[in-house]
Each structure stands twice: as C-alpha cells, then as structure tokens.
Amino acid sequence: MTDNPSFDVLPLFPLELVLFPGGCLPLRIFEVRYLDMVGKCFKAGEPFGVVTLKCGSEVHTAPSDLAGEAGTAQEIFYPEGTLARITHLSRPQPGLMLISCTGAQRFSVVQPELLKHGLWVGHAELLSDDQSVPIPEDLLPVAGALARVIDTLKAQGITPEQMPIQPPYALHDCAWVANRWCDLLPMSLAQKHRLLTLDNPLVRLELVSDLLERNGIPT
C-alpha cells in the first residue's frame, strides 16, 4: 500500500481520454474554470485529477450547462482516475494556457461535487502503485514491439518534447510497457478505463498482448 496521503479536495478534470501512470498529456486550457485551477496547481506544485467522461462534453458551451441538477447530469465520469502533474506551462496569449502533464498515481474519487463556477472536486483516495513485475519470457515480444515503435518515432525526427512516450523507458517492467501500449492502441474509453483499474500489471500486459494480436500488430 502507498504511504502517500489522500486528497481531501482534489480538483478534477473530466476528459474524453484515459491517463495512465507515466503517460504524457498535453492540454490547451481556455475555460475560466480550468485556467484558475491549473494556475493554482502549477503555482503550488500540486497535481489535479484526470477522470474519464462516460457522458457529457469536455467543454461547457452555454451557461445552462451548469444549471442546478441538470448541470450535474451533463458530466458523468468514472470514479477512478490518475493524478496529472504539470511539467510545463506557457501562456501564449491572454486566456490561453498550454500545459504538459505526466500521469502519476491512480486514485478513486469519493463524493464528487460540482462547484458553482463549474469545477468538479472530490475527496480522492490514492490507489496502490503498480508493483514492479519483470516481463515474463512469453511476453518479451510485446516489449520488443514497443521498443521498435519508440525507435521509429525517433527516426521520423520527432523532437523529444513531442514524443508520445517519454523517458525513462522501463521496457523490462510489465506495468510500464502495458501502460504505454494503452496510450497508443485504438480502443474504447471503457476498455482503457478497465485496464487502468486492474491491480495486476501482468494481467494488464497479457490483455494488451491480446489486443495487439487482434489489431494485427506484429510482436
């Protein structure tokens, strides 16, 4: 179990994606509710929580989106998510932030609350970090295929800052390899979220291996 504390009031960012530990997340921030939240998190060196939308939109398009009980029905998200730590922030123009985040620890939200200005917050109980499990021999080709993807991206001249997979590379570790494939593979949000919530990184990697085979990706 982790020794890290829970978050009594964790600001939440519902998105149409699943952030995995160690994953890269670039975001354009322009809504007032998130400009304020991200600015405060960056200044304090604190993370925010990324949760996956089951229903609703990432962007509020009208004030009625926040009206009473109807507002709470606009955004429905899974309770499990991942902390996002801001590694870079720039303000290219007023009312716009460009940020880069890294996925950190998984969490589960208890009693989420929608504040008046449209920001979700909630008590977050941190989930245990994935155990470090060496990749068994029969799954080594899955790691080898990921290494080839990384080499291909580098050969295409993609800058280190734009790489969708950031070092340090842990091609020997079940969780890291499974998570990076989960970042890359086309699958439904429900499938990705299910993989995120698995406590056994070896099982996650085995399921990823099956997905690679179904998608015709050679290992």
**The pLDDT of residue 3:** 53
Among 126, 161, 192, the domain boundary falls at 126
Read off the CATH number of the domain in which 122 is found: 2.30.130.40
Residues 112, 3: contact at Cβ < 8 Å? no
Residues 31, 38: contact at Cβ < 8 Å? no
CA dist 65 and 73 (Å) reads: 9
CA dist 39 and 128 (Å) reads: 28
Q: Specify if 100 maps to a domain.
A: yes
Give the DSSP H or E segment for 197.
helix 189-197
Q: Specify if 1 maps to a domain.
A: no
Q: How many domains does the chain have?
A: 2
List the domain range (segments joined by +) for residue 202.
Answer: 137-214
Residues 70, 11: contact at Cβ < 8 Å? no
Per-residue pLDDT of the chain (219 residues; tens, 9 = 90+): 445 567 889 999 999 999 999 999 999 999 999 999 999 999 999 999 999 999 877 676 554 444 433 334 478 999 999 999 999 999 999 999 999 999 999 999 998 999 988 999 999 999 999 999 999 999 999 999 999 999 999 999 888 888 999 999 999 999 999 999 999 999 999 999 999 999 999 999 999 999 999 988 888
**The pLDDT of residue 4:** 52
**The pLDDT of residue 190:** 96
**The pLDDT of residue 68:** 38
**The pLDDT of residue 74:** 77
Among 65, 94, 126, the domain boundary falls at 126
Strand partners, 13: 50
Strands 24-29 vs 7-15: parallel, antiparallel or unpaired = unpaired
**The pLDDT of residue 137:** 97
Residues 82, 22: contact at Cβ < 8 Å? no
Tokens of 68: 């009473």
Q: Is residue 153 domain-shared with residue 183, that is, in the same domain?
A: yes
Q: Is residue 154 domain-shared with residue 58, that is, in the same domain?
A: no
Cα 211 → chain centroid: 20
Q: Is residue 12 domain-shared with residue 55, that is, in the same domain?
A: yes
